[in-house]
Chains A and B, each alone.
Chain A
Amino acid sequence: MQTFMEQLPTVIGALNVGFLQTLKLFVVTLLGAVPLGLIIAFGAMSKVKILKVLCRGLIWIIRGTPLMIQLLIIYFFPGLVLANNVWGGGETGRFIAACVAFIVNYACYFAEIYRGGIQSVPVGQEEAGMVLGMTRRQIFFNVTLLQMIKRIVPPMSNEILTLVKDTSLARIIAMQEIIWAGQAFMKGSQGISGAIWPLFFTAIYYLIFNGILTVLLRKLEEKLEFFQ
Chain B
Amino acid sequence: MAILEVKGINKTFDDTLVLKDISFVLEENQVLAIIGSSGGGKTTLLRCLNFLETPEEGEMWIHDKKIFDGLENKTLSEAQIRENRLHFGLVFQSFNLFPQYTALGNVMLARQLEAKSKPDYGKNKKEIEAAIEKQAKELLTQMGLEDRMDNYPHQLSGGQCQRVAIARALAMSPDILCFDEPTSALDPELTGEVLRVIKELSERDNTMIIVTHEMAFAREVADKIIFMDDGRIVEEGPPEQIFENPKSERLQEFLQSMITV
Contacts and interface: CB of A to CB of B under 8 A. Distances in A.
A130 B99 contact: no
Interface string B128-163: 000000000000000000000000111000000000
Contacts, number: 65
A227 B90 CA distance: 24
B100 A133 contact: no
B184 interface: no
Interface in B93-148: 94, 96-100, 109-110, 113-114, 117
B168 A132 contact: yes
Interface stretch (B27-35, B59-67, B81-89): B81-89
Contacts of A82: none
Contact of B98 (A128, A136, A150): A128
A91 interface: no
B14 interface: no
Contact of A131 (B50, B94, B152, B154): B50
Give the contact-size bracket for chain A: 20 to 34
B82 A142 contact: no
Contacts of A128: 92, 96-98
B92 A134 contact: no
A147 B97 CA distance: 12
A139 B95 CA distance: 17
Chain A contact residues: helix, strand, loop or mixed: helix
B52 A127 contact: yes
A124 B92 contact: yes
Contacts of B152: 226-228
A129 B117 CA distance: 15
Contacts of A133: 82-83, 85-86, 110, 114, 172
B78 interface: yes
Contacts of A134: 109-110, 113
B99 A227 contact: yes
Interface in B27-76: 50-52
Given A130-B85, A134-B110, A135-B78, A227 B100 contact: yes
Contacts of A125: 96, 98
A180 B96 CA distance: 54
A196 B97 CA distance: 59
Contacts of A146: 100
A138 B110 CA distance: 9
A122 B154 CA distance: 16
A122 B96 contact: yes
Nearest to B98: A143
A131 B100 contact: no
A135 B96 CA distance: 17
A132 B110 CA distance: 6
Sorted nearest first, the 9 A-B pairs with minimum C-beta distance are A132-B110, A128-B96, A124-B96, A228-B154, A227-B100, A131-B90, A227-B99, A133-B86, A138-B113
Interface of B: 50-52, 78, 82-83, 85-86, 88-90, 92, 94, 96-100, 109-110, 113-114, 117, 152-154, 168-169, 171-172
Interface of A: 122, 124-125, 127-136, 138, 142-143, 146-147, 150, 226-228
Given A131-B90, A132-B109, A132-B171, 16 more contacts: A127-B92, A131-B52, A131-B89, A133-B83, A133-B110, A134-B110, A135-B78, A142-B113, A143-B109, A146-B100, A147-B99, A150-B100, A226-B152, A227-B153, A227-B154, A228-B153
